[in-house]
Amino acid sequence: EECHTEECNILSRIVQKCHDQHPFGKFRGSCHAEEVRVQVCYKNERIARRAQHNQEARIRAQKREEAIKEFKKWKENRGKS
């Protein structure tokens, strides 16, 4: 539970409470609206996490390219001293 946002954790606890209050109703969809809200919240978390990871990957790729360019410059200039 701690790997989700506070909002999703709260929604998850609401669903759990609903399931506790309606032990057989959960199989008939008594808690469906709450479950959908949790699913949407988790999906939004995944989308945000994916965007953040993509941004971090772009930054790492850019740094790697810069390091390669610097290495190539160093390699070319090494014998020119």
pLDDT tens across 11-52, in order? 999 999 999 999 888 788 899 999 999 999 999 999 999 999
The predicted model gives 59-69 an average pLDDT of 97
pLDDT at 1 over 60: no
Q: Is 33 exposed, middle or buried (0-12, 13-18, 19+ CB in 10 A)?
A: exposed
The tokens for 68 are: 């390669």
- Rounded to whole angstroms, the Cα distance separating 77 from 25 reads 75
- Rounded to whole angstroms, the Cα distance separating 68 from 41 reads 41
